[in-house]
Amino acid sequence: MPGLGVRAPRTLDDVPGWFYPPDQALMTWFLRWQDRHEPLGDLLELGAYVGKSAILIGSHLRSSERLTVCDLFDSPAPDADNVVEMSRSYSTLTRLTFESNYLAFHHELPVIIEGPTSVICDHVAPASCRLVHIDASHLYQHVRTDIEASRVLLRPGGLVVCDDYRAAHTPGVAAAVWSAVTSGDLQPICLTPHKFYGTWSASERIREDLVEWLTTQGPGTFDLQTVAGHPVVRINRWPDPPRPSLRAIHARPTLLSHEPEVDGAVAGDASGAAGGWARNARAWSRKTALQWLPPVLTSAIRNARRARYQRQPRVRDTG
């Protein structure tokens, strides 16, 4: 099966997971909105499975930001119910599959915390994150702890995204999410069939911008509701959400295939496409220059580049 270790994925569609097109479009929109309006901040995913959502989130890293993912991967679950959940739903998961899928799209791994999400506050600094994606255990007590952690780890204006907040088989997520809204300060911004997007801060501006954008996505895409006094955008019918087209490194057109490309090639908007063309143009001029230099010099340059690539650090932090 693609993405589970037999064949390298070429696009995000080849990576198994539960990260569906409307949420790929929305997560991309939210991360780009932060890019335009918010200062630097780290990204965090609780529950990575084999990388589908982490690969997309990691493509939005800005310089000096970092992505941390926390998952049990090959480690034991912390309690009996979680053991059952793991063996029922994720029995084929290995950390190696996550790592190879992620490295098919990016040149460096994220920071990996292998262990229960209850330890996340020991590894990530308070108020350091701009987005936390909660998609680990779907049991009430775990999700409640994860939501509390998001409040500590997000900086003002940060976004929390909770998976499966309304699925029939995950009532514990629904209970944890809505109780954080009704008896806590969690502000809902947007609801899709699979994910809840919210914040612990004021949410008017981002919600207004989201509505403006969704209005361009065709009639009936969304409606506006009020839940426990909170205005919320509900995605209704969105047959063709604008998907980010993420291609694996080996599947990207590049003139120097032995060289790593710059991270984060998300096509689908003008800046991403322009960035890709600019990189290709730079690669082209480097290649052309190499063709005209004396052979002794060109092989020295190639050897230096190869050595620099091999020296690149692979960041790991095993909890």
Q: Is the Cβ of residue 136 or residue 180 nearer to ligand SAM in the bound state?
A: 136
Amino acid, single-letter form, for residue 23: D
Is residue 198 a contact partner of residue 185, using CB atoms and an 8 Å limit? no
Contact 176, 130 (CB under 8 A): no
3 counts as binding ligand SAM under rule CB under 6 A: no
Does 47 sit near ligand SAM (CB under 6 A)?
A: yes
Which of 12, 61, 72, 186 is in the footprint of ligand SAM by CB under 6 A?
Answer: 72
Q: How far is the C-alpha of 211 from the C-alpha of 260, rounded, in Å?
A: 38
* Residue that is written with structure tokens 């919210």 in the block: 198
Residue 136 binds to ligand SAM (criterion: CB under 6 A): yes
Q: From the CB of 75, what's the least distance to ligand SAM, in Å?
A: 8
Report the DSSP pairing between strands 154-163 and 187-191: unpaired
Q: Which of 26, 29, 31, 52 binds ligand SAM (CB under 6 A)?
A: 52
Shortest distance, position 141 Cβ to ligand SAM, whole Å: 10
Counting Cα atoms < 13 Å in the Cβ hemisphere of 49 gives 19
What angle (nearest 5°) sits at the alpha carbon of residue 76, between those of residues 72 and 77? 75
Site for ligand SAM in 230-289 (CB under 6 A): none
Of 45 and 276, nearer to ligand SAM (C-beta) is 45
Task: Quote helix, strand, coil % in the chain, to nearest 5.
Answer: 45, 20, 40
Distance CA 105, CA 260 (A): 11
Where does residue 251 rank: exposed (0-12), middle (13-18), buried (19+ CB within 10 A)? middle
User: Is the CB of 11 or the CB of 201 nearer to ligand SAM?
Assistant: 11
Residue 42 binding ligand SAM, by CB under 6 A: no
Interface with ligand SAM (CB under 6 A), residue from 5, 13, 14, 17? 17
- Which two structure tokens, joined as six digits, stand for 217? 């996505």
Site for ligand SAM (CB under 6 A): how many residues?
A: 23
User: Least distance in Å: CB of 235 to ligand SAM?
Assistant: 17
Site string for ligand SAM, 84-113 (x = CB under 6 A): --x---x--x--------------------
Residue 137: which region, alpha, beta or left (left: phi > 0; alpha: psi -120 to 50)? Answer: beta
- Choices 34-42, 135-143, 243-251, 294-302 (CB under 6 A): range interacting with ligand SAM: 135-143
Q: Give me the amino acid identity at 119.
A: V
Q: Of the two residues 41 and 116, which places its CB atom closer to ligand SAM in the complex?
A: 116
Compute the distance between CA of residue 183 and CA of residue 272 in angstroms, rounded to an integer. 41
Rule CB under 6 A: say whether 18 interacts with ligand SAM: yes
Asked if 28 touches ligand SAM (CB under 6 A), the answer is no
Stretch that binds ligand SAM, among 76-84, 101-109, 243-251, 273-281 (CB under 6 A): 76-84
Q: Which of 53, 170, 192, 221 binds ligand SAM (CB under 6 A)?
A: 53
10 Å CB burial of residue 89 (0-12, 13-18, 19+) is middle
Task: Using CB under 6 A, list all residues that contact ligand SAM.
Answer: 17-19, 47-49, 52-53, 70-72, 77-78, 82, 86, 90, 93, 116-117, 135-137, 142
